[in-house]
Structure 1
Amino acid sequence: MPFASPRGGGRAGRFSGVAGVAGVAAVLALSALPARAADIPGADEIVMSPNVSHVANVPKPAGLAATINTDIAFQGDYAFVGNYGGFSIYDIRNPKKAAVVSSVVCPGSQMDMSVYGNLLFASVDSSRSDDSCSSVAQPASVKQSWEGIRIFDISDKASPKYIKSVETNCGSHTHTLVPDRRRHNVYLYVSSYLPAANYPDCQPPHDKISIVKVPLGDPTSAAVVNTPVVFPEGGNETQPGLLLPTSGCHDITAYPEKGIAAGACMGDGVLFDIRDPENPKVTVRTTDPNFAFWHSATFNNEGTKVVFTDELGGGGEATCNEATGPTRGADAIYDIADGRLVFKSYFKIPRYQADSENCVAHNGSLVPVKGRDIMVQAWYQGGASIWDFTDSAHPSEIGYFERGPAPEGFGGFWSAYYYNGYIYASDFHKGLDIIKINDPRTNNARKVHLDRLNVQTQGSYGGH
């Protein structure tokens, strides 16, 4: 999400992203009969499709109430929710009674999260006076500034301990965890962008990623082991409507079982070969005249498709409206055929949002229905959408959940992910929402139980 610069500065009708008449009819039928949450305090403004229910909302803890929620990771009976001011750990063994176990105040946007064993990794992409949790923001032009990866020991969920920091060039906007079980390591692929000549540790051109190696037996020895260049010939600079020229990647999704990864890199979408995790190689590169900012990627379970998202307007604008239309600020579905990315269609939520509501394609995950390609996705103030892309050329929405315009004027769901029978969504201001879908097209997903979910580290259903 680039609405805030990683250097610390500021950064009633319908349409359908569905390409088939049957899909449009199904969407209109869903939208015509919205349900409202009546059993949760403060939920009067919620509207959802009849097959979706609101299970719970857990407000942000007091120490993080003034800063916005971001990404989510899961392990066992716990959800780990990032926040510009730190992170919180939630006990979700009974989703109806989910509760905060602990929160850590440790400022530094965005706090993109991943977990592995007793370790939690957090991304910091805002220039800080040092690597501590008591640091303060300062310009990246100051030579002693710090930004990068923070590592916490979460063996005691009630009392996480900060054990290590790793500084990376241009900070860490997001990171992707890539396990290497044979060598008892994990790697973090660190994505960052927006270099500037007056930033000592972020000089242009910044056409690379940073790879942090974390030995699981000695995580305090974690260090950068490689900075491979993704765009040796330079990234896209001429894309019409491009938010910024390509100067790094925003996010990478890895599928280690299949030895592949997909990179959403500002003006470009790429595929990597990651069979050697310390030396990923770009194998495919594409761009799209309708995309403004390649934001994130999701493979289907077979690894034969990838959905890229376009964060038109940087997440801060109203782009789910009639003026923007169905093909911008949307998802693009690609088949992977003979080593190539083959564009098939776009998908966008089929409900216009008010011109006051920031809304655009954002973070989502697969709903693990075997034999189908279904995902849930956050759209900021567009809420959460559950949609089917089994037919790549004719995607269709299955269900949705959303609130009315945020009183703060800016908000909504940053991430919406499916984990062990429920959808968990991190709302900027309202905390953690827990949602459930009851639909014959998705109910088989309840049979799939995961021990861990880092959404940017995909594994085959049952293979995590």
Structure 2
Amino acid sequence: MRARVRTVLGAALAATVSLALAVAAPGTAAAGPPAPPPVGPAVDEIVSSDNVTQVANLPKQEPFTGESSYGTDIAFSGDLAYVGNYDGFVVYDVADPAAPRVVSQVLCPGSQNDVSVSGDLLFLSTDSRWSDDTCSAVPQNQGQLPYWEGIKVFDVSDPANPAYVTSVATACGSHTHTLVPDTAGESVYLYVSSYAPAPELLGCLPPHDRISIVEVPLADPAAAAVVAEPVLFPDGGNPGPGSDTTTGCHDITVYPAKNLAAGACMGDGVLMDISDRENPEVIERVRDDTNFAFWHSATFNDDATKVVFTDELGGGSAATCTADVGPLRGADGIYDIVDGQLEFRSYFKIPRLQTEQENCVAHNGSLIPVPGRDVMVQAWYQGGVSVWDFTDSANPVEIGFWERGPLSTTELTLGGSWSAYWYNGHVFSSDIQKGLDVLAVDDATIAGAQDVVFDVFNPQTQPTYGR
């Protein structure tokens, strides 16, 4: 099907905007004293709703204790959680969620270090320029000189001693990647999202309207290679201006059982047919030039009739959960899929205001496998972790939350929950500064979720739990 570009307009948006403005601007009718600053938890204080409880925290450990050793994304296999870090990755044993322990730590610096796992293999994204592809490389910030960035492959058959296997260079590096199993079970594909081309970058020249597809033969992972670079935006994508200019994708979530993918591509949200794994086809495109600044990530509901897109206003480093920013920006956008088209229904943003010293915006989350309902857990950086229900697409509602107070009351230090995912009965949160948090949710809304068990979970590779 030929893709068409649609923009969020119409009665649903108008109603949402009108209501939100009425709520967000209580002081506009008459002049008065300035509103007091939001009152929230003290530095490092934990607050939560009654139905969400912290059961464990395991702080970052050497050599990953520096402020710039950011904890990032998570992948799961059996009793293990693999957590990315700007300095490498950590393998945790989470067989007892109340007592997680570090199995191993691999020092291998690289921006993002987004992770996924398949069998005995772990894949690591590097979105920064290095002198070579080894874990001992040094930064190479001169774009006109040879440099490396892309995907690294590790053998984690012995989780206590992961072994480096190979690397694959990809255009503009790998900001994120998404694991896509082939239909024959002989290979896995990695859909590599990257962006920010520039004339001075040898490996990232504009235009950059595509993704890279890496094939990893399971019988010979050392032979991993780029096998396709499909152009998703032959017209150049959203021209902007500003951060919503499409120059690649930030993140792609695939639903292999449905042969669908949803791409969050800076200025465009796309729906793709991935029946042919090496030739994904864009079948629908939407834009929200009113409230979305940066299409960041996507999550399907279980029956693939909805997509939640996130807007990472401020790039994750800004305080956007404030009264000044309001409830429509830096939020989730909920879309129904109707006859193959994406139809906007509403926005969702956490209702708790944060301080100017807390980076906060919609970020990574996953479904909670509740039969018959659409419920999601999601990270909001220093806004904490939110559990919310979007079964009624037009009227999403938060049903629980957990958050830690700011890192500072005087300055904004990057921190908070980068990723929060439900895995086999608990929520696991990778905090940028504080390490691994484990939460329990006790609420009638998620009845049945505890009965759904997965052997492997890569959050951007959605499994089906329909029964």
TM-score after normalising by structure 2: 0.89
Measured in 2, the distance between the counterparts of 1:439 and 1:43 equals 28
Report what 1:92 is aligned to: 94
Relative to structure 1, is the Cα distance of residues 368 and 156 closer, same or farther in structure 2, using a 3 angstrom cutoff? same
Q: Report how far residue 143 of structure 1 moved.
A: 3.0
Report what 1:10 is aligned to: none
Report what 1:458 is aligned to: 462
Report what 1:313 is aligned to: 314
Relative to structure 1, is the Cα distance of residues 45 and 145 closer, same or farther in structure 2, using a 3 angstrom cutoff? same
Question: Are 2:60 and 1:60 equivalent residues in the alignment?
Answer: yes
SS at match of 2:325: coil
SS at match of 1:87: strand
Q: Report how far residue 59 of structure 1 moved.
A: 1.1
8 A contact 2:190–2:214 mirrored in 1 = yes
8 A contact 2:43–2:407 mirrored in 1 = no
Report what 2:257 is aligned to: 257
8 A contact 1:35–1:48 mirrored in 2 = no
In the TM superposition, what whole-angstrom CA distance separates every residue of 1:175-215 from its partner, at most 9, and x where no partner exists? Answer: 00000141511000000000000111111000000000000
In the TM superposition, what whole-angstrom CA distance separates every residue of 1:359-410 from its partner, at most 9, and x where no partner exists? Answer: 0000000000010000000000000000000000000001000011113722
Relative to structure 1, is the Cα distance of residues 441 and 20 closer, same or farther in structure 2, using a 3 angstrom cutoff? farther
SS at match of 1:264: strand
The size of the alignment, in residue pairs, is: 429
Q: How does 1:197-216 map to 2 (within 5 A)?
A: 197-216=199-218
8 A contact 1:274–1:281 mirrored in 2 = yes
Relative to structure 1, is the Cα distance of residues 18 and 118 closer, same or farther in structure 2, using a 3 angstrom cutoff? farther
Question: For 1:419, which of 397, 419, 423 is the aligned residue?
Answer: 423
Measured in 2, the distance between the counterparts of 1:305 and 1:398 equals 19
Q: Percent of counterpart pairs with the same letter?
A: 61
Measured in 1, the distance between the counterparts of 2:78 and 2:464 equals 18
Measured in 2, the distance between the counterparts of 1:403 and 1:137 equals 33
Report what 1:4 is aligned to: none
Q: How does 1:118-133 map to 2 (within 5 A)?
A: 118-133=120-135
Report what 1:229 is aligned to: 231
Q: Any stretches of 5+ residues in structure 1 without a counterpart?
A: 1-16, 25-33, 37-41
Question: Are 2:430 and 1:430 equivalent residues in the alignment?
Answer: no
In the TM superposition, what whole-angstrom CA distance separates every residue of 1:275-296 from its partner, at most 9, and x where no partner exists? Answer: 0001101100110021000000
8 A contact 1:360–1:379 mirrored in 2 = yes
Q: Report how far residue 101 of structure 1 moved.
A: 0.3
Report what 1:327 is aligned to: 328
8 A contact 1:19–1:394 mirrored in 2 = no
1:409 is aligned with what amino acid?
T
1:256 is aligned with what amino acid?
P
Report what 1:39 is aligned to: none
Question: Are 2:115 and 1:143 equivalent residues in the alignment?
Answer: no
Q: Report how far residue 61 of structure 1 moved.
A: 2.0
Measured in 2, the distance between the counterparts of 1:248 and 1:136 equals 26
1:448 is aligned with what amino acid?
V
8 A contact 2:244–2:295 mirrored in 1 = no
Measured in 2, the distance between the counterparts of 1:210 and 1:310 equals 23
1:282 is aligned with what amino acid?
V
Q: How does 1:180-219 map to 2 (within 5 A)?
A: 180-219=182-221
1:269 is aligned with what amino acid?
G
Q: Report how far residue 259 of structure 1 moved.
A: 0.5
Q: Report how far residue 443 of structure 1 moved.
A: 3.3
SS at match of 2:63: helix
Measured in 2, the distance between the counterparts of 1:279 and 1:325 equals 40
8 A contact 1:153–1:163 mirrored in 2 = yes
Measured in 1, the distance between the counterparts of 2:161 and 2:52 equals 35
2:253 is aligned with what amino acid?
T
Question: Are 2:302 and 1:301 equivalent residues in the alignment?
Answer: yes
Measured in 1, the distance between the counterparts of 2:110 and 2:302 equals 33
In the TM superposition, what whole-angstrom CA distance separates every residue of 1:423-464 from its partner, at most 9, and x where no partner exists? Answer: 00000111000001100111310000011110000011179x
Report what 2:13 is aligned to: none
After TM superposition, the runs of 4+ consecutive aligned structure 1 residues lying more than 3 A away are 17-21
Q: Report how far residue 118 of structure 1 moved.
A: 0.2
8 A contact 1:19–1:345 mirrored in 2 = no
1:323 is aligned with what amino acid?
D
Q: Report how far residue 356 of structure 1 moved.
A: 1.3
Measured in 2, the distance between the counterparts of 1:424 and 1:137 equals 31
8 A contact 1:19–1:393 mirrored in 2 = no
Measured in 2, the distance between the counterparts of 1:105 and 1:111 equals 11
Relative to structure 1, is the Cα distance of residues 20 and 441 closer, same or farther in structure 2, using a 3 angstrom cutoff? farther
8 A contact 2:72–2:86 mirrored in 1 = yes
2:65 is aligned with what amino acid?
A
Question: Are 2:360 and 1:341 equivalent residues in the alignment?
Answer: no
Q: Report how far residue 238 of structure 1 moved.
A: 3.2
8 A contact 1:420–1:449 mirrored in 2 = yes
SS at match of 1:303: coil
1:429 is aligned with what amino acid?
Q
Report what 2:443 is aligned to: 439
Measured in 2, the distance between the counterparts of 1:413 and 1:91 equals 20
8 A contact 1:35–1:50 mirrored in 2 = no
Q: Report how far residue 90 of structure 1 moved.
A: 0.2
Q: Report how far residue 235 of structure 1 moved.
A: 1.1
SS at match of 2:184: helix
TM-score after normalising by structure 1: 0.90
Measured in 2, the distance between the counterparts of 1:43 and 1:77 equals 32
SS at match of 1:182: coil
8 A contact 1:245–1:267 mirrored in 2 = yes
Report what 2:273 is aligned to: 273
SS at match of 2:429: strand
Measured in 2, the distance between the counterparts of 1:461 and 1:108 equals 34
Measured in 2, the distance between the counterparts of 1:209 and 1:295 equals 15
1:402 is aligned with what amino acid?
E
Relative to structure 1, is the Cα distance of residues 370 and 140 closer, same or farther in structure 2, using a 3 angstrom cutoff? farther
1:428 is aligned with what amino acid?
I
